[in-house]
Chain A
């Protein structure tokens, strides 16, 4: 239930941005660049990272929408049936694991990220640009999780699929609405 009377009980992110409409456009533009712009990371991989960050931040609202979105983009549904905090237990590809490890540390202990965490990503075959792109996804969801948790949004699991389908940048590779 939202913490503010000016938000309806069924409020979603769109309504949070309704409190400051000029932010909605900037945020949407940032989302298209980070989540759907050119990258070594596929949109499905980026949505998987988004879901993982939301999972370890215990943000059910964002986890629900972005896990559904990842699946709709082709990510294996078994990943989300086993999305534990411990990255080793999550059935993602070996290549994606060091990126999720990086996401774990940067999300839960941001001051503890070290060169070794970055080197593990490079050792898996990713470029510096790919790590940069992953960091942007991790940062965006540490923002989004707090935006939704801070306003007390109801996760409303019955709406996960609908929300995934309605995300502004989810309709095409160029983020056309």
Chain B
């Protein structure tokens, strides 16, 4: 998510938030959407993206990547060369597509880790967690742990 990449950290967070939304993972969706916003994407973009990836006001260059990760998330076995070619035609390299696939695959893992353990979302913490993930404030890891601990205690 933060290593050298043709995709900016903000673009990777947008993909993470989008994939998480498609997988109905409120926990990841909330936090990574907030991180994308902290990196400069408009706050009202994500709902529009989830509503319609073809018409959402994203930079045109990014649209084929978002369409690729949507398909890879919802119907992974239907990927074809044309999906990749649309990404390349927008000016991205093979390395960029590889990075986008890695991010999408990662959130298909993480969303299921959250769903599988029945972890719910607390919208009050999204903005703070997003800012932490984006590296805009202090120690994110500690905060995440405390959120999980709190939820565990409430449940118990």
Contact = CB atoms under 8 A, between A and B. Distances in A.
Interface of A: 1, 3-6, 16, 19-20, 22-23, 57-59, 102, 106-107, 110-111, 113-115, 118, 132, 135-136, 138-140, 142-147, 149-152
B140 to A, nearest CB: 19
B112 A150 contact: no
Interface stretch (B7-15, B100-108, B126-134): B100-108
Contacts of A146: 72-73, 76, 101, 104-105, 108
Contacts of A6: 94
Given A4-B94, A106-B112, 15 more contacts: A3-B97, A5-B94, A20-B99, A59-B76, A59-B77, A110-B115, A111-B115, A132-B117, A135-B113, A139-B116, A142-B105, A142-B112, A150-B104, A151-B98, A152-B84
Contacts of A106: 112, 115-116
A33 to B, nearest CB: 14
B72 to A, nearest CB: 5
Q: What interface size band does chain B fall in? A: 35 or more
19 contacts: A1-B81, A4-B94, A6-B94, A20-B98, A20-B102, A58-B76, A102-B116, A106-B116, A110-B25, A111-B25, A114-B118, A135-B116, A138-B112, A138-B116, A140-B109, A146-B108, A150-B101, A152-B80, A152-B84
A113 B105 contact: no
Secondary structure of the A side of the interface?
helix
B148 interface: no
Contacts of B106: 143
Contacts of B85: 3
B20 to A, nearest CB: 10
B79 A113 contact: no
Contacts of B25: 110-111
Contact of A139 (B3, B72, B73, B113): B113
Contact of A142 (B84, B95, B109): B109
B50 interface: no
Nearest to A147: B105
- The 5 nearest A-B residue pairs measured at CB: A111-B24, A58-B77, A3-B84, A150-B101, A135-B116
Contacts of A16: 98
A131 to B, nearest CB: 8
Given A57-B77, A115-B118, A138-B116, A147 B23 contact: no
Contact of B111 (A23, A110, A145): A110
Contacts of B102: 20, 23, 147
A152 B116 contact: no
Given A142-B108, A146-B104, A4 B113 contact: no
